[in-house]
Amino acid sequence: MPGQVLDAVQKAKAGAKAYCTNFFPVESKLQSWIDHGELFAEWQDGAVFFFRTDRDFRHFYFCADRAALEQGMMSSTGLKAGAVTTDLVGNNATLNQLLTAFEPAGFRRYTQLQRLARIGCPETGGDAPDAGFAEKADVPAVQGLIENSFDRYGEQLPLPYEIEFAVEYRQVLVVKRNGKLAGLLFFETQGLASSVRFWAVAENFRGQRVGSALMQHYFRTQAAVRRFTLWVDAHNENAIQKYRHYGYAPDGLIDHVLANRMITS
């Protein structure tokens, strides 16, 4: 139950001299992981580790005293059970020392994400008549385009049930042309904040302003939002420039994605 997970987190935090964590799930998402049997915990002295199953690998989360983290990773059975990734989020000044703690446990730097943000909703151009919310029948095509466009190890791709949920709650925009999915924009809005999770155009439809139609429709449907954010591959200059065109800029937060030796790509 989520309450037991949060109790374990508080217990690890209470006994820590130098507390560190990468585990910040909202309760609804935590409940979903539990309901789908994806989450399990491993106790260490002064730490609690969580592992979430994702396709053929696991995400590693920790709540621990710094010293307990280093010791616990060396003896963790979960970290030796297969392919594992973990995310370290912060700024370079705070993460440099923490990064070195993961090397003895077999982790290496896999990729780096950068957070971009903009304040307020921009003025949009004309209508985008072929952009609209995805329907249940679109779920397989949405999943296929996301999986073909993004790295499953580096960018936490949604599972089918997560796509179904997002479609049901009108958080996936699509453009269809000639009966085919030309592009999508997958987002999450909570209150006055909204985050673009995935923005992709199918290869056969690039250069046809599909991406701009999606982004303009996104801003139009989220007119009440005051802060927009997203994560992007820090080395993908083409994507960064496209987001800058819509007013996004780096806010100083980065995500170092680490992978263990079982992930070779």
**What does pTM read for this prediction?**
0.93
The number of domains in the chain is 2
107 and 125 both lie in a single domain: no
Domain containing 70 equals 2-112
Q: In degrees rounded to 5, what are phi and psi of residue 58?
A: -130, 150
| Domain edge (last residue) among 60, 83, 112 | 112
Length of the chain: 265
- 92-102 and 66-75 helices cross at what angle (nearest 10)? 30
Last residue of a domain, one of 81, 112, 143: 112
pLDDT at 27: 86
246 domain-assigned: no
- Both 81 and 133 in one domain: the answer is no
Q: 59-97, pLDDT tens digit by residue?
A: 999 999 999 999 999 999 999 989 999 999 998 888 888
Residue by residue, pLDDT tens for the chain (265 residues) are: 778 898 989 999 998 899 999 999 888 889 999 999 999 999 999 999 999 999 999 999 999 999 999 999 999 999 998 999 999 999 888 888 889 899 999 999 999 999 999 999 887 766 667 899 999 999 999 999 999 999 999 999 999 999 999 999 999 999 999 999 999 999 999 999 999 999 999 999 999 999 999 999 999 999 999 999 999 999 999 999 999 999 999 999 999 999 999 998 7
CB 112 within 8 A of CB 256: yes
Continuous segment of H or E residues that includes residue 242: helix 237-245
* Same domain? 142 vs 106: no
* Domain membership flag for residue 247: no
Examine the fold and report which residue of 78, 112, 146 is the final residue of a domain before the chain moves on.
Answer: 112
Rounded-to-integer distance, Cα 141 and Cα 182, Å: 10
- Report the C-alpha gap between 233 and 238 in whole angstroms: 10
Q: Quick one: pLDDT at residue 127?
A: 63
